[in-house]
């Protein structure tokens, strides 16, 4: 079924879905050297979702450096959450799939997924479409004095600190080579509990946060900077680089799309950093799993494997799926065993998706997979 029609912005709304003079509308400003568009994905249909969303929007309005515009995308959230968005002057785009890819689709000038991009003199693929805040189309570069377009990804369960965006922007200003920056993540339900300060994987694809269970945030990880990946909620991404690497993978959800994107950004020659001074809070049950659910993790493992390692990765994915199904039986939860096998089958039986994603990853690649190894977890870390 097709997506529901995109609504027209309400009276007085600015481009991107931000109302201007409506009561309760979000106030936005445009920083001088950059132009930030906040992208808010609303998927939670639980009874507490509207109150949490209201808090997210209040924090967004209270940012010490506010985004130039806000785009809201609703995919499965309840009618009460839709009303909260409208009360704050935001008319959401309606989507059926709750993925970061759908968020980017709501932007003006978003390139079609998988479209082949022209190469520049340095060999990199160049973005197509219209950059946020400009009227230039096609592969031409934006004017030298044009603000650098950035995208700030938020979900309806992530509550940013009032200076979260400011701290991210300060970090990327100090390091021009950074294309993705992410915040420190604390537990919204258990104040002070640390959840993520970026994350990594083993060579076999096991995702690790390098944060202990029930670990309190005492600044012990505040020296982290270069990381393999950061989570999508709270992630700041340079728009032109997102286009350059082919955007988010349409097959991956929020928890899963992060690792795939960050790997491609790094292999395209850019940096990914975590900014511990920037803090967001998210319910622990949503943020503890990194790298995605088993199906997304299996897909990412096949997409990121080297050509020679792909057959071994395929065997590993199949074996892992069977072992998880057997474990369900052993712990007297046989009803979920078929689901474990189904997740693996959903990946293995769609080689077209895997091959398309591998082609997408190779288009902007200027670094080999070996460049990621120093940022990966050692075998000792995995066994701890």
At residue 24, the pLDDT reads 46
Q: Are strands 236-238 and 148-155 parallel, antiparallel or unpaired?
A: antiparallel
- 29 in the same domain as 76: yes
Which H, E and C letters describe 33-88, residue by residue? Answer: CEEEEEEEEECCCCCCHHHHHHHHHHHHHCCCCCCCEEEEEECCCCHHHHHHHHHC
- Evaluated on CA atoms 356, 359, 364, 368, the torsion sign reads positive
CA distance 181 to 275: 7
DSSP classification of residue 32: S
| Paired tokens of 286 | 């949503």
CA distance 301 to 314: 8
DSSP classification of residue 16: T
Residue 201 — φ and ψ, nearest 5°?
Answer: -140, 165
Task: Give residue-wise pLDDT tens across range 157-167.
Answer: 999 999 999 99
> If you average pLDDT over every residue of the chain, what do you get?
80
Q: Which residues pair with 273 in a beta bridge?
A: 181, 226
66: exposed, middle or buried (Cβ count in 10 Å: 0-12, 13-18, 19+) = buried
| Paired tokens of 2 | 């097709």
- 368 in the same domain as 309: yes
Q: What is the number of domains present in the chain?
A: 2
Give the domain-ending residue among 237, 260, 292: 292
CA distance 39 to 16: 9
- 288 in the same domain as 154: yes
| Paired tokens of 40 | 């808010």
CATH number of domain containing 66: 3.90.550.60
Q: Are strands 207-208 and 178-187 parallel, antiparallel or unpaired?
A: unpaired
Instruction: Give mean pLDDT in consecutive 10-residue pieces for the chain, a chain of 384 residues.
Output: 43 38 45 83 91 94 93 90 93 84 76 40 39 35 72 95 96 94 94 92 80 88 94 95 91 86 94 97 69 72 84 88 87 83 84 85 84 85 66
- 283 in the same domain as 306: no
Range of the domain at 311: 295-383
- Whether this model's pTM surpasses 0.75: yes
């Amino acid at each position: 079924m097709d997506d529901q029609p995109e609504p027209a912005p309400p009276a007085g709304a600015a481009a991107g879905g931000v109302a201007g003079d409506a009561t309760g509308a979000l106030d936005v400003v445009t920083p001088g050297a950059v132009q930030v568009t906040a992208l808010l994905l609303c998927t939670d249909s639980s009874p507490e979702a509207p109150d949490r969303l209201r808090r997210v929007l209040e924090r967004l309005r209270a940012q010490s450096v506010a985004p130039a515009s806000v785009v809201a995308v609703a995919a499965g959230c309840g009618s009460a959450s839709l009303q909260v968005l409208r009360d704050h002057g935001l008319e959401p785009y309606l989507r059926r799939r709750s993925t970061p890819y759908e968020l980017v689709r709501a932007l003006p000038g978003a390139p079609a997924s998988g479209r082949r991009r022209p190469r520049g003199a340095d060999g990199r693929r160049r973005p197509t479409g219209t950059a946020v805040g400009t009227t230039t189309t096609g592969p031409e570069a934006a004017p030298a004095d044009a603000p650098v377009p950035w995208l700030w990804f938020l979900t309806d369960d992530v509550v940013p600190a009032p200076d979260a965006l400011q701290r991210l922007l300060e970090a990327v200003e100090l390091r021009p080579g950074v294309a993705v920056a992410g915040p420190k993540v604390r537990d919204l339900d258990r104040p002070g509990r640390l959840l993520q300060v970026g994350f990594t994987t083993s060579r076999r694809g096991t995702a690790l946060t390098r944060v202990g269970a029930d670990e309190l945030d005492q600044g012990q990880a505040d020296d982290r900077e270069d990381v393999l990946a950061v989570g999508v909620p709270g992630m700041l991404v340079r728009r032109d680089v997102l286009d350059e690497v082919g955007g988010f993978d349409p097959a991956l959800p929020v928890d899963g799309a992060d690792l795939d994107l960050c790997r491609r950004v790094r292999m395209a020659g850019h940096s990914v950093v975590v900014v511990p001074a920037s803090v967001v809070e998210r319910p622990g049950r949503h943020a503890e799993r990194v790298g995605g659910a088993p199906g997304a993790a299996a897909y990412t493992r096949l997409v990121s494997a080297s050509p020679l390692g792909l057959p071994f990765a395929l065997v590993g994915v199949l074996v892992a799926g069977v072992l998880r199904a057997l474990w369900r039986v052993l712990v007297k939860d046989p009803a979920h065993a078929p689901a474990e096998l189904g997740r693996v089958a959903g990946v293995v039986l769609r080689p077209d998706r895997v091959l398309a994603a591998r082609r997408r990853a190779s288009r902007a690649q200027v670094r080999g997979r070996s460049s990621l190894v120093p940022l990966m977890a050692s075998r000792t870390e995995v066994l701890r």
